[in-house]
Amino acid sequence: MTVTHILGYPRIGEKRELKFALESYWNGETDQSQLKQVADKIKLHNWSHQDNCELSYVTAGDFAWYDHVLGTSLLLGHVPKRHAKGFPDLDTLFRVGRGQSQSGCGCHGEAASDMTKWFNTNYHYIVPEFSSRDTFQVSWPQLFDEINEAQQKGHRVKPVLLGPLSYLYLGKEVEEGFDRLTLLPRLLTAYQAIIAKLEKLGVEWVQIDEPILALELDKVWLDSFKLAYQVIRGEVKVLLTTYFDSVVDTLDTIVDLEVDGLHVDLAAAPEQLEQVAERLPDDWVLSAGVVNGRNVWRANLYSALKQLQPVKDRLGDRLWVASSCSLLHTPVDLELETGLPTVTKNWFAFAKQKVSEVQWLAKALDGDDVAIQYCAQYSQPIIERDLSTWVNKPEVQKRIAGLNLKSGLRSAQYRQRAHHQKEVLKLPLLPTTTIGSFPQTGEVRNVRAAYKRGDIDFANYQSAMQGFIKDTVERQEAVGLDVLVHGEAERNDMVEYFAENLEGFQTTQFGWVQSYGSRCVKPAIVVADIERKKPITVEWSTYAQSLTDKPMKGMLTGPVTILCWTFPREDVPRETIANQLALALQDEVSDLQQAGINIIQIDEPAIREGLPLKANKHQDYLDWAVKAFRISAQTAKPETQIHTHMCYSEFNEIIESVAALDADVITIETSRSNMELLNAFEAFNYPNEIGPGVYDIHSPNIPSVEWIEQLIHKAATRIPVERLWVNPDCGLKTRNWEETEQSLKHLVQAAAQLREKLT
């Protein structure tokens, strides 16, 4: 019988139960036992579903309170000293992730640890911090408690563990001149202890994730794998797990390791199967990740069956069937989507359905006639979708074809534009602004929900939204910001809002995906040609501008970010989708500036995230990604100031492409990294204006005036002060008004004091 498993399951709950439980606990409304009850219910439900689908193993250890890297840090007793308050507990974890204990310890001044993206996904993790004094010991029992709990329920358990090399690689040194790889021997001692505990629990297989094996690693990192897996080798069998790209480049290293099997991602890199299967050691299993854990389209099970059958004939029971990666990157359950058209719903599979796909495919490989017939019939809607719903409208295709003749250049270069903008906008030194969104209160969300349900008509909805916008503008003027925003009360999400107002997208009701902690997003799905039939944001921005004499920013989400934060068609090039989005946004830019909006922000927080893992694919992606952004802004007049925003990204690899966007102002996240990200802009001599974030909006901490001044001073040592802006590091929708107003007052005060000193 073919062994089946998945690499992980969503932990937020079918209707985001974990999100609401976390936020209730953080707000002091519930205690820790109530929080854990919700988590336990979710875990039991997840295991039961895998068991009901007859998977060979249920996966344990994939649950995380904030993110799984932070969970690994606590497992290893590796917590920054500023957050350590005795033995690690749940509040320790929240202090590291959020910068503030929720148990009333009074630790309100602690800064949260740095956060960044998990490879090329929209999932975030807290970056481990390494120094020469670090030690590691098994300190957090969650993994072992979950294994024991699952076993007590009668499940055959395969725990998942982030591998030692990936854990080190994904962290950062906080001590100048220190090499974190020198910590490997100490770290391996802790991993030995973990494996020993797994043995005592009767674990047969452990899934050890080493996703960095899909990267192009330096020799010193590759060489370290052999030592690592010799040291941690025990009686428990190890499934070495890779995903997100091919491992052909590192296969020489992999096949020499002391492990018992290899998992590869065949959704991301199907071409690697032949070489991997051919070079697989005789006593290893091969876990084939054919069910895509990063998209919502049904698997083409019949195609997968034909792909794997020769490998099954060769390897027999040594071939396992699995999801390509953890299913945490997909929504939980398609069955909840009662509002989707039947024909459209038949195209999709969420996490719950993907578990069934894994099992049906395995049964077909074992020769089950019913399963073989099911795989053939199940794939038919995909074929029909390919033929009928990518509309290829002539007017869209004509505009796309014309792009080949255009470079996306604006009508004037930055220096000329800066001169025009200075005359029109009349902004002070160190102008202050925000990134776009303001607190989304319960009242705001309730009005949106009532309108969506049809409980109120558009006139009442519009009146309510205008009231929220007016309140937001008045609060900004009272604080003293120089460039205002309308606050985005009408937007549920920066991407979903545009998807709802553009042709070619399908949105869902419960298609939530965890980003980190309690933060969830609901990606739309690209199903057809993308078009803009009418203005989307113009009415709200012009109303906001009518309330103030200060400049009002128009707020748009960029084409690459919309692409990266939706589920794209799998049969259409991403570049094609990006170009269609760019043309739609170009029309919006034209209408905004015609309506008198002289500052327009086109957010691209996902442009680094979309970068392929392999360096030889970088330039092609960056070429079309940059082009798409420039097409969006191409019609902007010289006096129209184009902003863009990026957050939680490493810019060093793409700094030239960031500059090639040719935005007049770029705002970036730098508060958590203590301005470290500006090093890339200093070395490159970035030519345009920059707003390095000085206020970490993902933490409830209120930054002091002194803290903000210190960060601006640091920024001024790297970027000329006349090209610096002062702003938070991201939007403020997740914060409350009390925190927001106090923080922004400090921000404005710090900028004012520095203006006096500098002039």
DSSP string, 447-467: HHHHHHHTSS-HHHHHHHHHH
Residues 743/704, Cβ–Cβ less than 8 Å: no
Sign of the torsion formed by the C-alpha atoms of 719, 722, 723 and 727? positive
Return the H-helix or E-strand segment holding 400: helix 394-402
Supply 26's token pair: 């953080």
Candidates 375, 372, 323, 373; CA nearest to 351 is 323
Question: How far is it, in rounded angstroms, from Cα 127 to Cα 118?
Answer: 10
**Partners of 95 in the beta sheet?**
none
User: Which residues does the annotation place in the binding site for 5-methyltetrahydropteroyltri-L-glutamate?
Assistant: 16-19, 117, 122, 519-520, 565, 609
Would you say 38 and 11 are in contact if contact means Cβ atoms under 8 Å apart?
A: no
Residues placed in the known binding site for Zn(2+):
645, 647, 669, 730
Contact 285, 341 (CB under 8 A): no
Q: Answer whether 711's CB lies under 8 Å from 751's CB.
A: no
- Residues at the annotated binding site for L-methionine? 435-437, 488, 603
Q: How far apart are CA 259 and CA 226, in angstroms?
A: 10
Known binding-site residues equal: 16-19, 117, 122, 435-437, 488, 519-520, 565, 603, 609, 645, 647, 669, 730
> Beta-carbon neighbour count of residue 48 at 10 Å?
14
Annotated binding site for L-homocysteine: which residue ranges? 435-437, 488, 603
Give CA separation, 550 vs 66, 359, 598, 600, 744, in Å.
39, 60, 11, 14, 17
- Decide: 667 and 693 in contact? Cβ < 8 Å: yes
Q: Which tokens in the block code for residue 251?
A: 């296969």
Q: How many CA atoms lie within 13 A of 479 on its CB side?
A: 27
Contact 437, 487 (CB under 8 A): yes
Distance between CA atoms of 76 and 298, rounded to whole angstroms? 38
3-state secondary structure of 150: helix
**Known active-site residue 618:** no
Helix (H) / strand (E) element for 322: namely strand 319-323
- Strand pairing report for 513-516 and 519-521: antiparallel
- Spot the catalytic one: 155, 698, 713, 746: 698
State the CB neighbour count (10 A cutoff) for residue 422.
Answer: 12
> DSSP class of residue 616?
G
> Which residues are annotated as catalytic?
698
